Structure 1
Amino acid sequence: MIRRIVAILAIVALAGALVLAFLDDATHKPVAPQGDMLGTESGEPFSSYVGRADRSLADADQSAYALITFAQPLTPAEAESVLTGIGRVNAMIVALASPFALPEPIAGETRADVFQRELDRIADSLAGVGDVPVPERIDAVVVRDTGDVLRAVAGAPEIAAVEVLPPDAAWGRFGVRPVDVTGG
């Protein structure tokens, strides 16, 4: 009889622990950005954004995250060529979608291969959805490097803007808003 009571109490305790774990907010909600944002503000014309981005780039003196927006969408090979010298490409942006996180290339692979693999993955996820256009080009990237390297890349004609976050910004703790290079 005592064994049955102990077994029932153990089952009730286990069930209670499972219910509490299921209701815990830390397991359900993503961590909110901590206030840092990249990209255009609501209603901000592109020309104003470029001025703000240029000021952030001029002030960059340490390694930091930055949004590099291309003047026009680039193929993976073109994007790799423009980003030569960048230490880390963390994400790519296609059209006005949220950033797609990227790994570093593995041995025998180029950054263009990484870009193409992600574009292929996006295309596969859109297969059978209907008349949804499949992206083939990259509009922007989120990178991390020093101010000097970012300024060197910003001089390329393929670059529309480079906006730099403060050096203490942490990956996954800042937001990225879309940048429309045709706006204003």
Structure 2
Amino acid sequence: MIRRSLAALAVVGLLGVLVLAFFDDATHKPVPPQGDMLGTESGESFHAYSERASRSLLEAPADQPAYALVTFTHGLTPEEAGEALANVERVNAMVIEMAAPFPLPEPIVGADRADVFQRELDRIGSSLAGIGNVPVPERIDAAVIRDNGEVLRTLSEKPDIATIEVLPADAAWGRFGVRPVEVPAT
């Protein structure tokens, strides 16, 4: 009799825990929208993308910071990328070839953006060691940055910059996707 009572209490307790877990915010929250995207759309030519990116750059508010995908005309060394992006407020990630963006920290005291780029490339190289004949990346093809429209438009005038696509100012880091842009060889 006692065993049956304990078993019934255990089943009721388990059902209670399951009901509470179902209504808990941690298990029941909807996934935040991922509507904003940077980069080329499926089947979009580089020319069409470049025009769309240019429009977004022109529409970017001069005084409000926004996230932007800066695509280089060709792969840049860490030093070249660091020099090109030295005056931007924040470099959030770097893009190598057609891979997903690699998040980046801000430089620590005594370091610059080139050091951050090189450290991340070294980390990627270390993670590829021993896998086989996998080429270790040495150049950066693009970066996700954050700054105001005025700075972004000035940046677009540099010779190593192929395109800059800007998101709306209300876009939040981690809430938008990034698709790499393939720049045609010239």
Q: TM-score with structure 1 length normalisation?
A: 0.85
Match of 2:86 in 1: 84
Which piece of structure 1 moves more, 118-127 or 174-183? Answer: 174-183
Matched with 2:150 is 148
1:85 shift after superposition? 1.1
| Structure 2 residue matching 1:97: 3-state secondary structure | coil
Deviations 1:32-66 (A, max 9, x none): 55200000000000011000000000000121000
Per-residue CA deviation, residues 120-164 of structure 1 (Å, 9 max, x unaligned), is 111111111111111011000000000000011110010000000
Deviations 1:89-117 (A, max 9, x none): 00000110000000101111111111111
Moved over 4 A (4+): 24-27, 29-33
Which letter does structure 2 place at the counterpart of 1:109? A
Report the Cα distance in structure 1 between the residues aligned to 2:178 and 2:33, rounded to whole angstroms. 10
Cα distance in 1 for residues equivalent to 2:65 and 2:178: 18
CA distance in 2, matches of 1:87, 1:53: 20
Q: Which moved more, 1:141-150 or 1:124-133?
A: 124-133
Gaps of 5+ in 2: none
Structure 1 gap segments, 5+ residues each: none
The answer for the alignment partner of 1:63 in structure 2 is 65
Q: Distance in 2 between matches of 1:30 and 1:114?
A: 35
The question of 1:42 aligning with 2:37 is answered no
Indicate the SS of the match to 1:148. Answer: helix
Is the 1:56–1:164 contact (alpha carbons within 8 Å) kept by the matching residues of 2? yes
**Is the partner of 2:41 in helix, strand or coil?**
coil
Following superposition of structure 1 onto structure 2, how do residues 9-158 of structure 1 map, counting pairs within 5 Å? 26=26, 31=31, 33-61=33-61, 62-158=64-160
Check conservation: 1:33, 1:175, Cα contact below 8 A: no
3-state SS in 1 of match to 2:126: helix
Cα distance in 2, alignment partners of residues 180 and 41 from structure 1: 11
SS of structure 1 residue aligned to 2:146:
strand
TM-score (norm 2): 0.84
1:13 and 1:76, CA in 2 relative to 1: closer, same or farther beyond 3 A? farther
Q: Secondary structure, in 3 states, of the residue corresponding to 2:154?
A: helix
Structure 2 CA distance for aligned equivalents of residues 123 and 176 of structure 1: 22
Aligned-pair CA distance for 1:30 = 11
The RMSD of aligned alpha carbons is: 3.1
